[in-house]
Structure 1
Amino acid sequence: MLLTLNAQAANQKYVIHISTDDARTQKIVLNNAANLQKHYGIDNVEIVAYGPGLSLLTQSNKNTDRVESMAMNNITFSACHNTMKAIKRKKGKFPTLTRWG
């Protein structure tokens, strides 16, 4: 589907979700977002992290520098509020996320 949207890409918003803490899968998601932006020249790319995927947006994640760099290049990162509330219920506080999360 993405290949057929080339002319319309600037008017589209692309949302990619990540729901795993698997480092390889997180890297693939970051690569996909970067490729969308690079190949289609769009700024409407968002990565939504939920469940275990929320780890992508934590300071301890090994991709923190890349997330920061991508955020500075207009890729939006969002943390699922339901996941954050569930963590607060379980641990007594919200998780500490990067400023991009």
Structure 2
Amino acid sequence: MIACNGTARAVLISVVALLIASPPSIAQEKRQASAQTSKRTAAETKAHRLVLQVNSNDPATMNLALNNATNVAQHYKEIGEPVEIEIVTFGPGLHMLRDDTSPVKARIKELTLSTPAISFKACGNTQENMKKAENKEISLISDVSVVKSGVVRVMELQERGWTYVRP
């Protein structure tokens, strides 16, 4: 151990305190800034994902879901960030995607052509139940995909971190 007088000890304590309290070096600042930029870049490029649920045979609700999807897609397109949007229908909401009863059929056809970020899913269970009840095949609008269960689809997307909205 080095013996030092009171003045030397005070100087030593001051130097140590300065080293502890001094700002990081330029190299440290660059490393920290680079790490923060990398984190931001990864977060910014991660796709935003939205699932919209439609389970009522109400044209206003259907149009609201389409408006929400269109607005979200447009927002992320304008700022250059990726987005995925699924509109999932089940129960009476399946009428939204039925070829014979959809009050929003023209809008859906236009969206499937103009906005690839938006996709449509129909509940297979509901389609089968409507087939039995109406004693006829239930045709869907082109470019609509069928999932076994609409509720399960919504649930699984939420479990994967998708944002859920019910218009």
TM-score where L is the length of structure 1: 0.81
CA distance in 2, matches of 1:10, 1:100: 26
Aligned-residue sequence identity (percent) comes to 31
1:33 equivalent to 2:69? Answer yes
CA distance in 2, matches of 1:94, 1:11: 37
Residue aligning to 2:130: 87
Over 3 Å off, 4+ runs: 7-10
1:63 equivalent to 2:96? Answer no
Q: 1:31 to 1:94 in 2, by over 3 A?
A: same
Say whether the 8 Å CA contact 2:51–2:86 is kept in structure 1.
yes
Q: 1:24 to 1:40 in 2, by over 3 A?
A: same
1:100 equivalent to 2:140? Answer no
Which is worse superposed, 91-100 or 8-17?
Answer: 8-17
Question: Displacement, 1:43?
Answer: 4.3
Question: Displacement, 1:86?
Answer: 1.2
Pairwise CA RMSD: 1.9
**Structure 1 alignment gaps of length 5 or more:** 1-6
Q: 1:9 to 1:83 in 2, by over 3 A?
A: farther
Instruction: Find the partner of 1:11 among 47, 50, 56.
Output: 47
Q: Paired residues, what number?
A: 95
CA distance in 1, matches of 2:126, 2:65: 19
Residue aligning to 1:45: 85
Question: Displacement, 1:65?
Answer: 1.0
Say whether the 8 Å CA contact 1:16–1:48 is kept in structure 2.
yes
CA distance in 2, matches of 1:16, 1:23: 15
Q: Which has the larger radius of gyration?
A: 2
